[in-house]
Amino acid sequence: MYLKEELERRGVPALLKFEDGREVTADNWEERRLELVDILSREEYGYMPDEKFKVSAAEAAKPARDCAGKAVTERLTLTVSGSKGDFSFPLLICTPAKKPGSKCPLVLLINFRPDFPDKYLPAEEIIDRGVGVAMIYYNDIALDKNEWESGIAGIYPRPEYSWSKITMWAWAASRCMDYFETRNDIDFERIGVAGHSRLGKTALWCGANDTRFKYVFANNSGCSGDAITRCKRGETVEIIYRAFPFWFVPKYNEYAGREQDMPFDQHFVVAASAPRVVVCGAAEEDIWADPESQYLSCCAASQAWELLGEKGLIGVDRYPEPGDIFTKGKLGFFMRPHAHYFSRYDWNRYLDRLLI
């Protein structure tokens, strides 16, 4: 394990040991993986509604040719039917123009804006690599504020349902996957979910809950995302919960200033997608997220892949430097220069791994 002494110094909880003290093996990994999801649901993100949903799609506009005719863009309205009634939200899908019967990889971006293209969504560059992209706008699902009456939050409200806004956004991504499964033009073995910052946390949590996503791309997700919480620089549990309590369940606030008492750390959410592909992206100047703690999380989480006989993190036994790209294993990490942002450089690192 890379940086083993630093992980021990920080007191990071054991990944490969059950809560009851049993050792984790390759044979019982799925039981442990589900336990990780339960711990994180209970302590940090909350639980998704435990029911089956029916999903249908309707055209919101006729399909359009985009990117000089290289792509087809569909604007759909997705309707989710459950025990509490119906909920609808927009879904955009842009795929390469191709021969009938062919299938393309697809990345679902949970985005901060409904714009297409967007500064976080360089659609033409993605299409040029033969990859489709879908997008949902997070505020169409649940508003990014401390209110529980609009969107899906008004239909499955707290405290009746113990979930957070991060979990609501992740839940919507899974409903998109329900729809993707009805199509015949998508390569189901190469569907990824992606997000940046708080939505990078969401992508990680979505991947932990929904094993149908074979790729998880978490960009600059940092505190309460892919960064080890114990002894991290920048944002802490106290700071993030005080500013954004609605991203989490109230129990998470019990660890403000008491991170050493947490029965988990963020390598749990990274590892909960093993043995699928996870790539975490960091930025040199993003001290708030803390690239060193992000890398440490990948170092600790890599044990899950190795337990299963897979190549996890193929990195170095030191803290990351700008320009490091460690994406040859099924758990990847890279760090670029400059600041907190979802750049074209970042997209290309994720696409590089998707297209291996």
What is the mean pLDDT of each successive set of 10 residues along the chain, which is 356 residues long?
A: 97 98 98 98 97 97 96 98 98 92 96 97 97 98 97 94 97 98 96 99 99 98 98 98 98 98 98 99 98 98 98 98 98 98 98 98
Distances 132 to 179, 191, 213, 343 between C-alpha atoms, Å: 15, 9, 15, 18
| 46 beta partners | 163
Residue 260 in tokens: 């050493």
d(CA 298, CA 286): 17
Helices (H) then strands (E): counts for the chain: 10, 10
Write down the residue that tokens 């979930």 correspond to: 163
Give the position of tokens 């649940």. 142
Q: Which residue type, as a one-letter code, is found at position 239?
A: I
For residues 287 and 5, the answer to whether their CB atoms sit within 8 Å is no
Write down the pLDDT at residue 108.
99
Cross-sheet strand order for the sheet of 54-66: 54-66, 71-82, 85-96, 132-137, 104-111, 186-196, 215-219, 277-283, 331-336, 325-326
Q: Determine the pLDDT at residue 232.
A: 98
- DSSP code for 149: S
Rg (C-alpha) for the chain, rounded Å, is 19
- Indicate the pTM of the whole model: 0.98
Record the tokens describing residue 45, joined without a space.
């993100």
Handedness of CA 299, 305, 309, 312 (dihedral sign): negative
Proportion of the chain in helix, strand, coil states, percent, rounded to 5: 35, 25, 40
Which residues have C-beta within 8 Å of that of residue 99, sequence separation ≥ 6? Answer: none
The letter for the amino acid at 293 is S
Locate the DSSP E strands across the chain.
Answer: 54-66, 71-82, 85-96, 104-111, 132-137, 186-196, 215-219, 277-283, 325-326, 331-336
Q: How far apart are CA 101 and CA 63, in angstroms?
A: 18
CA atoms within 13 Å, Cβ hemisphere of 316: 11
